[in-house]
Structures are given as C-alpha cells and as structure tokens.
A and B are shown apart, each in its own frame.
Chain A
Amino acid sequence: MRGLFLSLPPFAPDYSGIGAVFLELGAMIVIHDGTGCIGNYICHDEPRGERPGNMVFTTNLREMEVVMGDDEALLEKVTRAAADLDPRMIVLVNTPAPIVIGTDLRALARILEKRTGKPVLYFDSNGIRMYDWGVEKALLAAVERFAAEDAVACAPGGVAVLGATPLDLGGADNGEALRASVERSSGKHCAVIGMGGGERSLGTAAAAELNLVVSAAAVPAARWCEKTFGVPWIADFPAGISGERRLGECIRQRLSGSRTTQMAETGPGPRALVIHEQVTANAVRACLQEEFGFGQVEVATFFQFREELAQPGDQRLCEELELEEKANTGRYDVILADRFLHDVMRYSGAKLVDLPHLAVCEVMFYPDGFSLAGEAFTAYLKDQLGQ
C-alpha cells in the first residue's frame, strides 16, 4: 500500500538535512516546531549534537500561538536569542505544523534581519520530504549568500568538498577521515565544507581549484559555483583503496579539462545491489567491481536520483513494496544496505551486508568508528564478504 511502512523506519526528514549543513557554519538554527521535530534532529540525526556551543533551538510552538497566528512570539524569541548569543547568521526552519497554517517564514526572515542586523535564511521544509531536499536547499542558499564573502579569507586552490553531512558520512569524525582521504588521493589541500572545514569554509567552494561533490544533493550548489566562480566539479567519493586511487585520477583529469568519467567495466563476477545515497552508492559499486571482482552492480536509492550520475539498472525507490520487489527477485548474490532495510529483503536469497547509513539508522544505531573512506572501507568489506 502506498505510504505504508510496515518494516522500514522513516528516514531523516528535510529539516535534519538543513540542520546538518548549517551546524558548523556559525548559524543559530531555529526550528519552528512544538519540540518533536528538533528532538528528531538533535537527538537522532546529529552525532555532533553534544558539541559545545551548538546553537540549535526550537520556537516551542504552542496551540494558542497557532490558533491566534501569533508570529510575534517567534520574532521576540529569536531576537532575544540573537542578542544573547551573537550568531553569525540565523536560519529559520519550517516544520509540518506551521506549514499547514501557512506561516510566512519569508516575511518573518525579512523582519528579523531588520531587528537583529544578522543575515537570516529560511527554508520551507515540511517534515514530509527527506533530508536530501534539505541538504540541497541549504547548501545552495549557503553558497549563494556566503561563498563570495568567505572566499576572501580562504587560501586559493585545493579541493573543496560539497555535500558532506553526517547523514551520509556517519560519525562526527568522518569529515576528518574524508579530508585526509581526499588529500592522500589528490595531493592537494582539502576543506570539507560543514564538517570540519570551519565556520568560513563556504568560501573554499569559490576559491578551490575543484569542488568535489560527495552527495547528489550538492550538485545544484556545485553547478552554481561553476557558473559563478568558474570552479569545475566532479561527483565522487573515495570509497575503499581503489576509490582513493580513482578519485585522484578523476581530479587530475578534470583539472586538465576532461569531462569523461571513469566507469569500471562490468565483468562476469557476482551480482550485487547497493542501496545508499546515490554518489556514495556509485563509489561503493566501483569499489566492489575494482577490488572484489564483482560483475553487474546496480544502485538503488530512496533519496535524490540524478540520471546523469546513474548507470543502466539503477533505480529510485519510493515505497517499501518497491524495495521488496527489487530485492527479492533472486537476481543478486549480495545486497549492501543499511541493516534496517534488511528485514524487507529477507527473502532475497542474497547475502545481506550492512552498509550503514545514518539517515536511515540514526545516531543510536550507527556503528562506532565506521567509515566509508579509503582503506578502512576496504578492510570492512573484506571482513563482511569473507575475503
């Protein structure tokens, strides 16, 4: 039945994606909700939740404010907090309840800019869409507003990583693991925007030699940076030892002006299905084919699906039933997906391998120390595949 999740957990919602982008950029993130939505984000979707000084708050929306249309409550609360905490910017995040009553965050953002003297961004998230929508909108708005300004303080050159959030990368330390991996593979300095790159890291997207897009949601921001600053971009992720090597070659090719993408040739090896965010899943596919001798590997995702990044057989999933039908065809020898998706695929006949995805399993269940980048991921796959 459409919309019915019997086994699958609900995935991280759009407002979690927005929070994940802005958390390390000096923003005061204000979630306009009754407390449930902020709890979802800060307690379940954000492994950096205990960082001192995080400025993530709820407006604590209540019935009477809704019924009376009391927008002044939000204005008063945010203005007070801005005076107390002096944030770099304010980010207003909408949620289902105020969306349903037509709260005009755009107008409120304008009023707040005048009252606080701070830049104010707003997002009409609704808790119905998923985190990738939030990451896309947040990242695009952030680079449009701040990349030029922050670029002044950034060293030119190197690689800037766009689209890195714990929702795809996992643990709070994985931004650093990704940075190290990219630097090893490219021989260039690297800044991971929003995950360890610093409060002004948005400027690196304008100042870099190349932008590395590590999630499909970051493609619009990368395109904008290419159009505005002339910074080229590629979509890839250094999954496994082969991934680091391939990434280095892709970066060198792209910087030399080439636009071709390397794709591993499909051989006669075992067949697999990879379910994750699209760019990550593509990288895992390449790792399976190059390092582990897999043949046909298909990618499926519940999140953003870009045709330009897809290969034949890849698919966007929307419903639990679609996952069940895709997986339980008996076509795959191995299926790599977050373990919270495994129950639906229990009749697939395939070996089910846990490919943790925080946007699915949440902070509590994400394995400590797991990383998709570089040698650590190769070691993990060797262990899981029994090789």
Chain B
Amino acid sequence: MRNPPRYLTMQELSQIPLQAGRYTRIIPGRHLKYVAPGVDGLGLSSFSLLLPESAVLFIAPAGCARHVKMRAFAIGKADRLFLLRVTEEELVTGTHLARIPEAVEEILKRAKERPKAIFIGSSCVDTILASDYERVCRDLSRRFPDVRFHPSYMDPIMFDSKKSPDSRIHCSLYSFVEKQPERDQGVNLLGPAAPLDENADLPRLLAAAGFGPVRQMCRCRCLMEADEMGRSRLNLAMGGPVKMAAEQLKAAHGTPYLLVPPTHDPELVHGFYEKLGQALGAVLDDGEELAKARRRLSAAAEICRGKRIVVGKNYFGSPFETAKALLEYGFTVTTVVKNKITPKDKAVIAWLAERAPGMRVYSGDHPTLNHLREEHEPADLVIGSDAAYFYPEARAILQDGDRLHVCYQAIAYLADGLAGEEMRV
C-alpha cells in the first residue's frame, strides 16, 4: 500500500525552521531522490564547449561519461569531446593521471580540428581521491605551450558545497578569458548557453545610453573573440552557479559584476536597471519597457482568468518569485514545484503564505512523486519542464532552449506563453 505524493501547503512551508547550511529540503527528513526523466545533465559539454576552438578530455569511468558524450552528440559537438576511460586499479593507484599527456598528444594529432584550449574534466572519484588536476594542467601547459589548459569538474557529490560542480564548470569556462590591457564600453553576460534574443531589451537600453556590445561566450567564433570579453567594463552574472565565475573574474581582471535577478516581476527588473545604470555611471531609460511589461501581464491575466497554473523549478527564475509576480497581477497559481529553500526565499514564502496559504508545494524529487502523473491533478497551465512532466494534460510553457529571454523580454515571453502560445511538451 503506497502513500500519496507528499506536499506541504504554503502556510506549512512558511513555518518550517530553516536548517543550518545552504538550504533546507521542502519535505523534512533525509529521503531518496526521485529523478524525473528528461532532467538535463550538469553541462560539462553544453557549457565548456561554448568556448570556441576548445575540446574536453574527460577522465572518468566510462559510465560517467555517457550522458556527457551523448549530450555533445545532441548539440553537434561530439568531435570535440574525448574520453579516457579509467580502470579501478588506475583510480586507486593514481596512475590514470600519468596517462593524460599521452591522451592529449593523441587528441592534438587526430582531432578533426586541432584545439587551442582543452578542458581536463574529472568526476566524483577524482574529487574523493583529491587528484590534483591543477598540477596536471600546469604540467600540460609546459609540455604543450601553444595550447591553454584548465581543469573542469563533473562531481555531483559536491553539490552541497560552495564549490559545486555547476559553479566550477562556469569558473573553468571563464578562466580561459585573458585579461586585456584596455577596456571598452562592452558588458559581458555570463551564464546562459543560449544567445540573447535579437529583440532583447538589455542590449537596446544599454546602446541607447552609449554602452555595448553585450558579449556572450556563445557568440564568440574563435578564442580571440572570447579574449575580447576581457575588455568589457562590467560582468552581468545570470544564475547562482555563475556568481563564483564573476567573482573569479573580478579577482583576476578587476572587472566588477552585478547579478541579474531571475525574476518575472516588472518592479524588480526596473530595480535592476537602476542598479545597472549606477554601476555604469549612466541613466538607463526603461520607463516605456516597464509600462509595457505591466500592461502585458495584466492583459495575459485577463485572458487566463480562472485558469489553474502550476509553476515548476525548471524555468528561468525562482518558482516562488514567479508565483508571487503572477498572483500580484491576478493569475491563479495553485501549485509550486521546488525541492529546497534558502534563507533568501523566506520573505517571498511569507508573502505567498499570507495571500495563498493553501497553495501546494511539491518537492519534485521526493520518492512519492513517482506517481504524481497518475494522480491527474487538475491544472490548466504549467511552467517548466518538470511541471510539464508531472501534469501532462496541461498546456506547457517551456524555457526557450535556442534564444535567451531576460529582463522585460522574459516577462513578455512568459505572459505571451500563458495567454496564448501553444507549447506542448
């Protein structure tokens, strides 16, 4: 006899004490983790291979490399990702490290395009064994002076630490950017793998104030263009995992950074543009965009009157913040899917508990969620691929994987999606 999918109400969630450490799980007590199909990998291939003229040599048990290499096939970059399989004996004796230079030599000889930069990737076992990949990369740099080397990490056991693998993958990527002697009026957008949409408000508002270009690693066509990111006067970091990379660039290049808020709230976006203007010593006139965003959300709310919305975590922004923004404009949010909360979430949870105390909060990784799909809970619209998986009958609004929507454009994209764009899973 199995138990039904477990959840807390928003009221109950607002009352759970926060645990010491980085986060608190929604459902208290240690539990196994359910992984819904379709969950993406860490991004060793997606993010590292954004660096043009680069390759990844992944040293790991063959199984660990499977999704990394298949993801590389899916994005058309498999000819830049190589695997050095290790045996158990090699791991325990550390002799696999001594084989890396020979593997690099083979890659430089036989790769379809000779890379100018190589990520040396390692897995959980090397983290546990404290293998020194920094030293390996220094040795490689001496042996192959015309190639740049940096370590990269795919070690999910480190997710609870400050040096989580998603942070370190970004640090590794941006560590290839060389410091430049002069700066220009450019601004870097760090984090997302997709290029900014051509109608994005961010570059437009910056250009109107005399700033630009907005540089992204995914738009660089060669290593020299990637190095041009070192000219930018400011870094904009999108997403928690990128913050460490932004701090690293500040320490190495002296480039200041701002965090781009992951929000669909027009007022918070306006606040960000004010801060951005202050950081650049200019005024960014976003009045028209702000008014448009407010009107768009109101119009979408009118169309969606009475429709039950579920907000998942696999979508840009915090699902709590998104739920709050939608409720403020009159949408009906019934459920949020989120695995854990941090101290930063406390205020918005308190707000939600006051206005929608009965809103359900599912922990998307609790074992009882393995049969949530069978429950056919009522929902009309879902946001995010995880919510789409759990509510297959609802119309889904999914993250655009090809184009990046940020700031007011992110609000427009969501509002349009809720109001009328059909985006079935």
Please list the residues of chain A having a beta carbon within 8 angstroms of any beta carbon in chain B: 1, 3-7, 9-16, 30, 33-40, 42-46, 49-50, 52-64, 66, 73, 76-78, 80-81, 83-86, 95-97, 99-101, 126-128, 130, 340, 362, 364-365
Contact = CB atoms under 8 A, between A and B. Distances in A.
Interface residues of B, number: 68
B110 interface: yes
Q: Which of A13, A54, A64, A97 is most buried by chain B, counting CB atoms within 10 A of its CB?
A: A97
A77 B30 contact: yes
Interface stretch (B61-69, B223-231, B275-283): B61-69
Contacts of A53: 370-371, 374
B83 A364 contact: no
A10 B123 CA distance: 15
A62 B157 CA distance: 4
Nearest to A340: B73
B103 A44 contact: no
B355 interface: no
A34 B85 contact: no
B37 interface: yes
Q: Which of A14, A85, A86 is most buried by chain B, counting CB atoms within 10 A of its CB?
A: A85
Contacts of B42: 36
A12 B62 CA distance: 8
Interface of B: 1-3, 6, 29-35, 37-39, 41-42, 60-67, 69-70, 73-74, 78-79, 82-88, 91-92, 99, 102-103, 106-107, 110-111, 123-125, 127-129, 154-161, 365, 367-368, 370-371, 373-374, 389
Q: Which of A7, A36, A43, A63 is most buried by chain B, counting CB atoms within 10 A of its CB?
A: A36
A52 B374 contact: yes
A97 B128 contact: yes
A6 B69 contact: no
Given A1-B103, A34-B156, A9 B111 contact: no
A61 B157 CA distance: 6
B62 A13 contact: yes
B84 A36 contact: no
B2 A84 contact: yes
Contact of B63 (A56, A60, A128): A128
Contacts of B73: 9, 340, 365
Contact of A49 (B37, B65, B154): B37
Contacts of B156: 33-36
Contact of B69 (A10, A39, A58, A128): A10
Contacts of A9: 66, 69-70, 73, 78
Given A62-B159, A96-B64, 10 more contacts: A1-B102, A4-B82, A10-B65, A34-B124, A34-B155, A57-B367, A84-B367, A85-B368, A95-B63, A100-B128
Contacts of A40: 63-64, 66-67
A218 to B, nearest CB: 21
- Shortest beta-carbon contacts, A-B, top 4: A13-B63, A127-B63, A34-B156, A49-B37
Given A1-B103, A34-B157, A44-B66, A81 B82 contact: no
Contacts of A127: 61-64
A128 B154 contact: no
B106 A97 contact: no
Given A3-B86, A10-B83, A84-B3, A364 B70 contact: yes
A100 B129 contact: yes
Contacts of B60: 96
Nearest to B124: A97
A215 B252 CA distance: 56
A38 B83 CA distance: 20
Contacts of A62: 157-160
Contacts of A100: 91-92, 125, 128-129
20 contacts: A1-B102, A6-B106, A9-B78, A10-B69, A10-B85, A35-B33, A36-B154, A40-B67, A52-B371, A56-B35, A57-B32, A57-B35, A58-B33, A61-B157, A66-B128, A77-B30, A81-B367, A101-B128, A127-B63, A362-B66
Contacts of B103: 1, 4
Nearest to A11: B62
Nearest to A100: B125
B88 A43 contact: no
B84 A3 contact: yes
B157 A96 contact: no
Nearest to B5: A84
Given A13-B61, A127-B62, A80 B29 contact: yes
A63 B74 CA distance: 31
